[in-house]
Amino acid sequence: MNLLRTLVVLAACSGCLTAASKIAPELERLDTAAAADVIVQFRDGVTAGVHERIAASGGVLRRSLDLIHGAHYQIPAARLAELALDPEIEFIHPNRAVEASDFSGTMDYGWMSTLGLTSNTQALPWNGRGIGVAVIDSGIGNHPDILGRVVYNQSFVPNEGSNDQYGHGTHVAGLIGGSGSMSTGWNDFYTVRGIAPSVNLINLKALDLNGQGTDSQVIAAIQAAVALQSRYNIRVINLSLGRPVVGPYANDPLCQAVQQAWKAGIVVVVAAGNQGRNNSAGTYGYGTIAAPGNSPYVITVGAMNSAGTLSRIDDKMTSYSSKGPTAFDLIVKPDLVAPGNQVASLLQSGSTLDKSYPGNAAPTSAYSYKGGSSGSEYFQLSGTSMAAPIVSGAAALLLQQNPRWTPDQVKALLMLTADKTFPAASTQAVPGFTTATDPVTGTVYTSYYDIFTVGAGYVDIAAALGSKVDPPAGLSALSPSATVNAATGAVTLVIANNIVWGSNIVWGSNIVWGSNVLLGSNIVWGSNIVWGSTTASGFNIVWGSNIVWGSSADVTEATPLTVNGEQ
């Protein structure tokens, strides 16, 4: 596959939305007799006058979304063109569907040690105490491991309370802040505990009993997190959900919402998506990052497979983890990767996932030396939905350690200290990749360790907490974009002004990627593609000529693709 071709395919989508139109293309195809479920954005914020004009056209206000200068309405489709002529209306979006990502696998305890941590909470100098983490998901259940630390509950799902009927949000919450109280363990490594076991959790339910929601529900939940920020010291938002990218991030209401939260001082962590095996566009899974993970502000996280061992050396990239660059904008994503394959966390008994995948319940004998339990307390799932809360927990620990840090400082340090020494594929004739074979279809998937697959590297929480680097405050940590020279095929990272990245922080020649790193002459991009010979800010990034990123194989999960697992 040629990178130039991939970037051209992705960039070509930028012409899909015309500047002259104020109505998203999906809405133009609606039956005029239908009712349109829409998000309307306004030039100067919501006013009583525009509400009245929309009501006069048959529109019904469902929810105000002041965070993005908009509101959620039900409007007759036949009246949309007329409303688009209103000078106060900026754009009319469909209320697009979002969903969680989760699947099955066997129990994996190795991820805690992989991150440089043990399961012994007494051994950790930082535990997240006093930090609020907003979990925007399918709700949070009443599990003993988070008892007393779910300090706020609110549902944005019609006709459903804040309890977790799907089972996804509880699992995510446990990865962030589960205490392990129900996991007696044969030893420390077999205790099922979250990254920051003393954080406070803010339950903002935006996904229903089937793991589905809408843009308006997620935006309303983000808006609530910003409003509750001071009351509960909300410093982190976790979004283990997403949907396809439909246009440039600057025009996407979901991306606008996470950007506002980031600017309000909240670290936003987003799952990359699980479309890394999707070759429907001929890009071999490149360009499949989900929204709002395509925002350059947020920390977007891909999934690694820790192979169920306590060592990092055999960890591998999952083939289903979505890869960059982002559609339309060509933003370099993901920013980081973290364990996300067959990860054990809290079980919400009786939930949709519990009923659908009873085999995912962890056997009591695996985490309790007492035995005799009538039912499991823990459950295993795979996906970037599981990798994101690992990083959210890491952010909470860093913010406990450095309470004055901005989201940009947290992002910069996590990327700076991420492990970049992926294992070499010594069994391969050409190093730098391994394959995963679907046992049912026989399809072979290949993963590479390039910048669009692993970002700045594999999150290393112990290294981040032990770092003496103090990223400069007041600068941005926007993810860079990529551009390719059509004549030479050279790829350049475009880094804007006032950015924390530089020769001494993350994207520098000897800091992140090292001086000897190249994507290889015959691996994926071809013999002439060397990452970033120069950048917009003027310094050179030297990738060298001899080292290719690591190896890969995985057990799999993916939605909405139908993919079978392998051991």
Return d(Cα 362, Cα 375) in angstroms, integer.
9
User: What Rg value do the Cα atoms of the chain yield, rounded?
Assistant: 23
* Token code pair at residue 390: 């690992």
Q: Which of 385, 392, 447, 551 is catalytic?
A: 385
Active site residue 168: yes
Q: Which residues pair with 76 in a beta bridge?
A: 35
- Which residue of the set 108, 137, 354, 460 is catalytic? 137
Q: Mark out the alpha helices in 376-406 (DSSP H runs).
A: 384-401
**44 is an active site residue:** no
Strand-pairing partners, residue 481, are 331, 494
In this structure, what token pair is assigned to residue 549?
A: 């990123």
Backbone φ/ψ region at 465: left (φ over 0), alpha (ψ -120 to 50), beta: alpha
Of 19, 75, 72, 78, nearest to 42 (Cα)?
72
Query: Do 452 and 276 touch, CB atoms closer than 8 A?
Result: no
Active site residue 392: no
Q: Which amino acid is residue 357, in one-letter code? A: Y
Query: Which one is catalytic: 72, 93, 168, 171?
Result: 168
Nearest to 254 by CA among 216, 228, 302: 216
Burial, 440: exposed, middle or buried (Cβ in 10 Å; 0-12, 13-18, 19+)?
A: exposed
Write the DSSP assignment of 45-112 as a string of letters.
---HHHHHHHHHTT-EEEEEEGGGTEEEEEEEGGGHHHHHT-TTEEEEEE--EEEE--B----B-THH
Active site residues: 137, 168, 385
